[in-house]
Amino acid sequence: MVSYESLKSGYENNWANLQIRPTRLAEANATARKAINGKATYQQVERLTGVPWCFVALCHYRESNFDFDTYLGNGEALHRVTSLVPKGRGPFASFVEGAVDALRIQNFVGAQDWCIARTLYRLECFNGLGYHARGVNSPYLYGGSTLYGPTEARAGKFVADHVFDPNYVDTQLGTAVILHAMMSQDSSIDFDGSPSIVPRSEPDEDVASSVLLMQQALNKLGTRPPLVEDGISGPKTKAAVSQFQQQNGLQDTGVLDGTTIAAITRAGIQPVQTPTLDLSQILSRLESLAQLLQGGAASQGGTTSGTVISGATTTVANDPISLLERLLALANNAAPATGPTPLGAPVAGPGLGPADQLKPIVDLLGTLLSKDSKPVLGQVNGALGETIGKMLDGKKTALGIGGSLITALLSAVTASPNAGGLAGLLGTIASAVPGLSQFALPISLALTAWGVLGKLEKWAQGTAPPPKVTS
């Protein structure tokens, strides 16, 4: 990710060496006068956002050449909803209202560091940082100066998305060139000062990590052309966000709002691929065992249970539970009587009996119908997720009651410096946590209630453990 700190010295050096080409000086001065003529309007924006008025003027120049009937974010008309990124903005009653909206989207509102390097960095981010990778000073900043174009410097321009022409010279004046001319005409513009309190981070830096994650996620989702993963929400990133929003039924704005970030995050999570099980083969095998058991019971001359369906051919059941009930009944009828084996009677080999064949399949089907060989938690016991639910399974009521009693005991203890033993220990704990009962007792009572509701849910599901046999 490109950081301001890594580029700061380059901006400072370029500003110190910036010279307007003599052939462009008159044009630069005329453009600077236009910017200064709108100073009163730009200062209204500064009072509402804290963004320096000269920065607002420079953005206004690049977007719509100082047209006050346009939206600062993309140069479209103020009085209708925007159709370019950022889309769906407006209509706005005034230029100031639209400018505040555009600067808020760019996370410039509330920024405190407006030194010359930071100002140039933010101006370039407005258009994108792709020129750094090409070894060319951005014409968005330096067009019309000796820092861009022959013979003193390299030329080049992105003439389309990801299409760079190294021989093209941008003829539009750069914002740094106009700022240089503005400062020669208005002495109130000063970038020598620094904020009295340097913030830990600027608001546009705070969102950079989120933007980077979204750029990476969009690239994994197949965005074309691929995004440069720089943490800057420039024109190309906004266009990719807009495309994602259109494809996923979201409001098409091109802005990384909370809804869009959540949707991109969900789409970027690769689902765990679990092998699909063909239960038809298992059910067929179970049906075969049922017929085998039924035949074995009939050959012994016994009367089968009413749950056994007579007939040589039966249709494979689609319900594993009912099929298991049939098999268990058959297994009980086919199982040999317990007791000593009569002398001379043949002993069945291991694994040859139908009931022995049935057991592993019953275990397998039980595993398929449950999770981790345990009943799946219901909505009450699984309210905080499977992990926490299983960790507290069967313990919530006891923990809640115990916590309530301990909290009540500690809240009644008065700390005494001369007390020893258990009383001294309890007094120390009670005094070390002021207001203990105010938060601990409600939590303990809530845990107790959760445990009681969880037990009721288990009884309703039929998954409650059987009562323990007492001697």
Cα dihedral 77/81/86/87 (nearest 10): -140
pTM for this prediction: 0.57
* Residue 225, preceding peptide bond in cis (omega within 30° of 0): yes
Separation between Cα atoms, residue 404 and residue 436, nearest integer Å:
11
Q: pLDDT confidence of 314, banded at 50, 70, 90?
A: very low
- Tell me the pLDDT tens digit for each residue of 6-19: 999 999 999 999 99
Token couple for 212: 């980077």
Separation between Cα atoms, residue 7 and residue 5, nearest integer Å:
5
- The whole-number average pLDDT for the span 301-316 is 44
Per the model's pLDDT, the better-predicted residue between 307 and 236 turns out to be 236
**What's the sign of the alpha-carbon dihedral 148, 149, 155, 157?**
positive
pLDDT of residue 413: 54
Map residue 193 onto helix, strand or coil.
coil
pLDDT of residue 294: 63
Ordered by start, the domain boundaries in the chain are 4-185, 207-268, 280-300+307-334+351-369, 386-461
- Tell me the pLDDT tens digit for each residue of 76-95: 999 999 998 889 999 999 99
DSSP H helical ranges for 335-432: 354-369, 386-392, 396-411, 421-432
Residue 97: Cβ within 10 Å count: 16
pLDDT of residue 135: 92
Token couple for 452: 């009681």
- Asked if residue 174 lies in contact with residue 144, where contact means CB atoms within 8 angstroms, the answer is yes
The yes or no reply on domain 207-268 and CATH 1.10.10 is no
